[in-house]
Structures are given as C-alpha cells and as structure tokens.
Amino acid sequence: MTRPLRLALFSMLALGTVLGGCSSGEQAIDLNVYSATYDTDPTADPPDGWQRVSFESTLRSRAATVLVSDEPLLTCWNIVAFHAATEADDSRAISIRLNAYGQGEMKSYCADESRLKQPLALQVDGRWADMSPLLRKVTDRMTLYGLSASEVDRLEHWIDVR
C-alpha cells in the first residue's frame, strides 16, 4: 500500500471516528449547576449577573422564588462518573464524582460558610430540575436530584462518548 493511500485511509478512519463519536442533538444533554439564593425582595430587579426563577416544589425542594447566578458553577463536563438511584416520586438522584476543575470550583464555593444551606440550582436542558440546599462542603462527590430516567440515560451516553 502506498503512503498516500495509507494517509487517505487513516484520514477517513479518523474522520469517521470523530463523526461517529459526536452526540446527535437527541442524545446530547445540557446539565448545569448554579449558585442560588432565596429571593427576599421579589419586587426589586435582580442584581447584575443574576436571574429570578420561580421553582415549583418537588420531593426534595419546596416551592420558592430564588435568584440564580447567570454563570454555572459546574457543567456536565465536570462529571467524571455517576451512580443513579430512583427516588420515591420516580425521579432520579445521581451521586456524581467531579473532575479536578469541578472539585476546585466547589472547594472555592464552599470556602464561604454562608453559602452552606443556600440552594444550588440544577438545570437540565433548560428545565429547572432542583433547588436543593447545599448542606455540607463538597469534596470530590455530590448528589444532584430531580432528573428523569431518560436524562440519566442521555448523561451516561454523553459521558461514554465525549
């Protein structure tokens, strides 16, 4: 086999691997964790860098109006692995393991003790899934609540092919 032919075959194989590994729009998932605080004055405009979100109650979160940061603390890129469990309301809780960057972000965030007992907002594909309070400092693992079974499957697939 000649060198140009080998290079052409290698290029086609590499391109096929890259294109085959990309998630389709149906399987891609957008998961973000944001810092949040309870909104004490719903009549005032939210501060710069924050948005007001009304959240309906779930199994673990009460209904509330919260201010959510515009910038996420964590994204699905920060999740190395997870284990899912079914909740009483048929939603899923996932215990995630964070990569080094995610661990650093959470360590910095948790360094301010006033942030403990403040909610963290979980958004999955534009849906506010959970607003649970942060009850203890995060090390390399934490639990996220309020995902659906299909979202967990898509996250697992996304982690496998990214």
DSSP 82-130: EEEEE-TTS-EEEEEEE-HHHHHHHHHHHTSGGGTTSEEEEEETTEEEE
Q: For residue 123, how many C-alpha atoms fall within 13 Å in the half-sphere facing its CB?
A: 19
Yes or no: say if 106 and 35 are a contact pair by the CB < 8 Å rule: no
Average pLDDT of the residues of the chain: 87
Domain range list for the chain: 28-161
CATH number for 28-161 (one of 3.30.310, 3.30.1460, 2.60.40, 3.30.1360): it is: 3.30.1360
- Euclidean distance between CA atoms 79 and 158, whole angstroms: 11
pLDDT digits (tens, 9 = 90+) for 43-81: 999 999 999 999 888 877 788 899 999 999 999 999 999
Residues in the chain: 162
Question: pLDDT value at position 9?
Answer: 53
